[in-house]
A and B are shown apart, each in its own frame.
Chain A
Amino acid sequence: METIYRIMEALLPFEYMRYDFMKNALLAVLLITPLFGLVGTMIVNNRLAFFSDALGHSALTGMAVGVLLGVTDASLAMVLFAVLFALLLNGIRHSGIVASDTVISVFASLSTAAGLVILSRGGSFSRYSALLVGDILSIAPAELFRLLLVLIAALLFWGAAFNRLHAVSLNASLAKSKRIPVALVDNLFVVLIAVIVMLSIRWVGILIINALLILPAASARNLAANMREYHLFSLLFSVFSGILGLLLSYYLNMAAGPMIAVIAALLFFATVLVRPAVKS
């Protein structure tokens, strides 16, 4: 860790690099934003934006379950709960019994409410309010290491299964006829989203995590004509808003997560404006 810190200081001889918390935050941004830019592409393609939002809300219940069971590592409880939640939601989504946005909404509300009810026992919810807005400046090296592992896992999944995931998103029956294990691929993807969301939610915040997942990909769609451009733009937009947002939040003394989301949103509107020129 010390070596990385020293390299960062040498590369970035700025005032903010004097603080370890800023170094950690910058590393966190460099891990989280590529991750979000990458999986965001298929979240948008699969119309899972609402789904990932609901997953974010389940963090409250996951945290509450962890507190009730007296688990010391809240992240573990949150990840386990979110994975179960994601698989359940995915199952219901595909059963076609109820309209999928209705199901997702029901579960999102329920998990938010249940989490709030339990966490506000004894009137002490304010302890958990950081979960809502996120606090990237409080991230510690051990947690950075976890994010690195998730990033590697996501890259491996993308490398090994992207074509299948893409095929399933275009038409499940067609994918089935090509002997692609549709349900497995789909479930692995939602589990990946669940793990990513849960391990980054404390640093990014429930309220804005979805903006960071969706916006870079949504902006990239305005410019890209194929999957290579889509991924490239999405990654670039994500990392750019992350770094700029973090620095601005430092100089302006504002919350980092929301600042990143604002920049990502501005980028989105910029791409809407230049889209006609690019597409013609």
Chain B
Amino acid sequence: MKDKENQKSSSSQSIAGKTGRRGMKNEGADRRKYRLLQPPCGLHCIKMNDIGVRIGRETIIEHVNLHIHCGKLTVIIGRNGAGKSTLIKAVLGEIRHSGTVEFRDMRDRSIQDLRIGYVPQQLNIEKNTPTSVYDMFASYISNVPVFLKRSRKLAERIQSALSLFEAQELIDRQLCDLSGGELQRVLLSIACDPVPNLLLLDEPVSGIDRNGMELFYRNINMLKKNYDLAMILVSHDLDYVERYADSVILLDRTVLAEGPPAKVFAGDEFRRVFG
């Protein structure tokens, strides 16, 4: 069993390696196709200015100011109901909020169109739903209705996108039969095709076992190194946060503390929230 696992991971590594080499040789074409492998330049920044959300008379979050750079993993932590998911939804533009989100290229200080990738906590599907991974993926990247013909070209493209996250063998599985970790990898692949400027991951680690978590954070690391994007992750697992985050934001209606994990974890605010 263990051997098989090893074999699997080494084979997918070689796939990633191949794409890497091809990426270098024929970079222009590949980038046009998938915008693959463009290491972070560190020169894009996303600024959130005074974000606030009120629902009815209740203030969910207020005065949230954040500054995020490409190539960095920013993790939002906080107790339940602190407004973490609300902040994500505000950035997505799904709920009305005050304040602004701007995306700048530091080289010429121009404001650019921010493309957001989103990995949701879960999908709205019931048991038995006849949606395969192919169907789901194709729905976002193709206009040819997925209830008609299955296109081989599209399937190849999807397979190659999935293979970056070790999910290529899932392409014909039904979404409702996937484990938490498998679904997570599929959702990551979808969020990263086309490669976004900002990747939002909403508590993606619930319902996943230890191995799944390791793989998830390995994937995050891989993204950080090879892609020109910034990441915001909402997480509960402080062990992993300490190991992988570049910057931590402690949220409770507003930003209580921010900085490198070690600094935030040692602060008074952290102790007050997590006791």
Contacts and interface: CB of A to CB of B under 8 A. Distances in A.
A and B part of one assembly: yes
Interface stretch (B3-11, B63-71, B118-126): B118-126
A167 B134 contact: no
Most A CB contacts (10 A, CB to CB) among B126, B136, B144 go to: B136
A226 B117 CA distance: 25
Given A177-B117, A221-B130, A226-B135, A171 B146 contact: no
B138 interface: yes
Contact of B146 (A45, A178, A222, A228): A228
B146 A166 contact: yes
Describe B's contact surface by its main secondary structure.
Answer: loop
Interface in A7-58: 41, 45, 47
A159 B145 contact: yes
B132 interface: yes
Nearest to A179: B115
Contacts of B174: 225-226
Contacts of B149: 228
A176 interface: yes
Interface string B86-110: 0001001110000000000000000
Interface in A173-193: 173-174, 176-178
B139 A220 contact: no
B218 interface: no
A227 B200 contact: no
A199 to B, nearest CB: 23
B140 A167 contact: yes
Contacts of B140: 163, 167, 178
A230 B92 contact: no
A174 B190 CA distance: 9
A230 B123 CA distance: 19
B118 A227 contact: no
Most B CB contacts (10 A, CB to CB) among A167, A174, A225 go to: A174
A231 interface: yes
Given A225-B174, A230-B130, A164 B139 contact: yes
Interface in A254-271: none
Interface in A132-172: 158-159, 162-164, 166-167, 169-172
B245 to A, nearest CB: 22
B150 A228 contact: yes
B131 A221 contact: no
B94 A176 contact: yes
Given A166-B135, A228-B150, A171 B120 contact: yes
Given A159-B145, A171-B124, A231-B147, 11 more contacts: A162-B145, A166-B146, A170-B124, A171-B122, A173-B92, A176-B92, A177-B116, A221-B130, A226-B135, A227-B131, A228-B146
Interface of A: 41, 45, 47, 158-159, 162-164, 166-167, 169-174, 176-178, 220-222, 224-231
Interface of B: 89, 92-94, 116-118, 120, 122-126, 128-132, 134-136, 138-140, 142-150, 172, 174-175, 187, 190-191, 196, 200
